[in-house]
Amino acid sequence: MSTSSIPFQPPCATVREVGLRDGLQSIATVVSTARKLEWIRAAHAAGQREIEVGSFVPARLLPQLADTAEVLAHAKTLPGLVASVLVPNTKGAERALEHGADLMIVPLSASHAHSLANLHKTPDEVVAEVARIRALRDASGSRTLIEGGVGTAFGCTLQGEVAESEVLRLMQALLDAGADRVSLADTVGYADPASVARLFAKARGLVGDRLACAHFHDTRGMGLANVYAAWETGITRFDACLAGIGGCPHAPGASGNVTTEDLVFMLERMGVATGTDVTALLALRQRVAGWLAGETLHGTLWRAGLPQNAAPAVLRETATA
Amino acid sequence: MSTSSIPFQPPCATVREVGLRDGLQSIATVVSTARKLEWIRAAHAAGQREIEVGSFVPARLLPQLADTAEVLAHAKTLPGLVASVLVPNTKGAERALEHGADLMIVPLSASHAHSLANLHKTPDEVVAEVARIRALRDASGSRTLIEGGVGTAFGCTLQGEVAESEVLRLMQALLDAGADRVSLADTVGYADPASVARLFAKARGLVGDRLACAHFHDTRGMGLANVYAAWETGITRFDACLAGIGGCPHAPGASGNVTTEDLVFMLERMGVATGTDVTALLALRQRVAGWLAGETLHGTLWRAGLPQNAAPAVLRETATA
């Protein structure tokens, strides 16, 4: 017989907002720079301290993120905010260094087929690119951190299975090439809590706290279950999108990233401090939802409201039988 | 530092279908007896072996379930099917015994306020009723099992907090009064995985396998996460509703019970055999959804489809970049 054994429950966790990058790049609506800044200010005011503000890719590829430099500059004015950007290559990294991002995330796809289709490089070519990015960073004297993000870590829409051994090999290779830390992402929503528990336990066994973040999608409803399974292995940083924006291009209408406000609520409910005010997040969600009319949004808390026995006496349901 | 420790992973689990009772009683549409029988036959054909077919309550209270005796009679003709009914009192129990239900579930609300509002009895009066039901059962010579279902085990819309000690006391009292087994239900969707892990571990520590089932709602998106947390404590039976029908009367549009097809998919994906064909369940979902036009349905798998690396090569997404 089994008993749940959690020898150490981390008392706090970080929900990293990736809606401005992963969310906005996946939808048709282009949100203005002014509104992005409003979003970031409100998220900061709600207590969020890590925000992925954009991506340094050519503007013709992702016009939604063409203003990343300007958004980053504003984010850097907010006290205590760790502003990250996604960079696909050395060109992007040069811009991230130039504009002083706190963190640059270099995506790698553990699926060979997905890597070729999306990044036009093999996974090992991405590892080599990270080595060049590390050299650039060191030569510049910059303090910008480098995170290697291992995507399709639980399978892929193109090649199907992705071997755990390959995921772990590439994660280690990224660190060996000079990444300061790594993260694992279920890019297409294939993970289940048992596979998360297995892979994250192995990965932490290999690299410890240098495995710094988990990125889950809610495509098949398991986003929060996967977060919980990863949290049980000691992970304390999770990517999420406000209002669950993003979606999966392979499954129209399906959820994208884990929803920020739902995840913050779950963690706080579990007694894991996020430093974030869920009520303020719900208000921000409503504002952002107004900008995204016609887009499919996700999440449950905004609809159900906070429970009657939640600590803050706000947004309570009507107490009827 | 923590590592996920699951000394024993149960190799199989049961998803008990409660859509015909918990689901249908919460919605406006009245599904005909013929369609209920069609649903049960298809669920049985898909591999489901435990189905809550209705409730023996006065027809004026729940006209949706007025045909429970007829539905039960049909369910009993299906080989290997465990047909359960909900009974609120000795009158209902007499009918369950008369019609030969395999299992009768007697609901108890651990919240005093909720118990008075919904059952018009205190929790301890329900315990006393279970003692009378046990006496009836034994006098009848019937083999119908009695399950005491402890609801509002994680809080309540009326009184807010429900003490764990009270939940555990009432669970034990139900067994002492003669229930063959007990279950714990998060009636209003207040549970989080940490509270589930804590309460279920304590409850199993007290009564072991006589804690036979977990009943979660997905009101705030944590349904599957809660299932996983309970599964880690050794629970291997979970209630669920096809298409997530039901909802919470206190939160319009919010999800009700955990969705059967999503839960079966998660368990199978985790390597936990459910004996159920998820493809057949998805087809059944589509049929039932057609009967429930205008009702709010839930679930994610029907929309996202099975992943590319799922074992059965069906319902796959288009493999594009």
Return the number of other C-beta atoms located less than 10 Å from residue B47's C-beta: 16
Return the number of other C-beta atoms located less than 10 Å from residue B163's C-beta: 10
- Residue among A222, A253, A301 minimizing CB distance to B266: A222
Q: Search chain B and give the residue with CA nearest A235.
A: B2
What pLDDT digit, counting tens, does each position of A52-94 carry?
A: 999 999 999 899 999 999 999 999 999 999 999 999 999 999 9
* The total number of structural domains that make up chain B: 1
Q: Do B157 and A200 touch (CB under 8 A)?
A: no
Q: Cβ distance B280 to B41 under 8 Å? A: no
- The answer to whether residue B68 is domain-embedded is yes
What is residue B107's DSSP assignment?
E
* Side chain identity, residue B143: R
- The answer to whether residue B2 is domain-embedded is no
Query: What's the mean pLDDT in B109-125?
Result: 95
Q: Cβ distance B46 to B277 under 8 Å? A: yes
pLDDT above 80 for B314: no
- Residue among B3, B254, B318 minimizing CB distance to A304: B254
Distance from CA of B140 to the nearest CA of A (A): 35
Closest C-alpha to A13, from A203, A167, A156, A224: A224
- The answer to whether residue A94 is domain-embedded is yes
Question: Which tops the pLDDT comparison, B308 or B164?
Answer: B164
Closest C-alpha to B185, from B252, B139, B246: B246
- The answer to whether residue B84 is domain-embedded is yes
For this structure, is B248 an active site residue? yes
Residues in B touching A320 (Cβ below 8 Å): 157, 249-250
- The answer to whether residue B313 is domain-embedded is no
Q: Cβ distance B130 to B177 under 8 Å? A: yes
- The answer to whether residue B315 is domain-embedded is no
Please state whether beta strands A14-17 and A237-240 pair in parallel, antiparallel, or not at all (unpaired): parallel
| DSSP H or E stretch at residue B15 | strand B14-17
Q: Cβ distance A258 to A218 under 8 Å? A: yes
Q: Do B307 and A220 touch (CB under 8 A)?
A: yes
Q: Do B259 and A221 touch (CB under 8 A)?
A: yes
Q: How confident is the model at residue B309 (pLDDT cuts 50, 70, 90)?
A: confident
Return the number of other C-beta atoms located less than 10 Å from residue A80's C-beta: 8
Parent domain of B101 = 14-304
- The answer to whether residue B255 is domain-embedded is yes
| DSSP H or E stretch at residue B279 | helix B278-291
Q: Is B134 helix (H, G, I), strand (E, B) or coil?
A: helix
Q: Cβ distance B247 to B26 under 8 Å? A: yes
Q: Give the separation between CA B203 and CA B185, rounded to whole angstroms.
A: 12
Q: Of the listed B156, B213, B241, B248, which one is catalytic?
A: B248
Q: The pTM is what? A: 0.92
- Residue B100, both tokens: 């030969």
Bridge partner residues of A82 (DSSP): A50
CATH code for position B48: 3.20.20.70
* Side chain identity, residue A269: R
Q: Give the separation between CA A83 and CA A241, rounded to whole angstroms.
A: 15
Return the beta strands (E) in chain B as ranges. Answer: 14-17, 50-55, 82-86, 103-109, 145-151, 181-185, 211-215, 237-240
Query: What's the mean pLDDT in B238-258?
Result: 80
Rg of chain A's alpha carbons, rounded to an integer? Answer: 19
Return the number of other C-beta atoms located less than 10 Å from residue B42's C-beta: 18
Q: What is the pLDDT of residue B249?
A: 58
- The answer to whether residue A310 is domain-embedded is no
Q: Give the separation between CA A43 and CA A47, rounded to whole angstroms.
A: 6
Closest C-alpha to A217, from A187, A254, A250: A187
- Residue among A189, A218, A303 minimizing CB distance to B254: A303
Predicted-complex ipTM score: 0.90
Return the number of other C-beta atoms located less than 10 Å from residue B58's C-beta: 11
pLDDT tens, position by position, for chain A (321 residues)?
344 445 456 689 999 999 999 999 988 899 999 999 999 999 999 999 999 999 999 999 899 999 999 999 999 999 999 999 999 999 999 999 999 999 999 999 999 999 999 899 999 999 999 999 999 999 999 999 999 999 999 999 888 899 999 999 999 999 999 999 999 999 989 999 999 999 999 999 999 999 999 999 999 999 999 999 999 999 999 999 999 998 655 556 667 899 999 999 999 999 999 999 999 999 999 999 999 998 989 999 999 999 877 654 333 333 332
Residues in B touching A241 (Cβ below 8 Å): none
Q: Give the separation between CA B242 and CA B278, rounded to whole angstroms.
A: 11
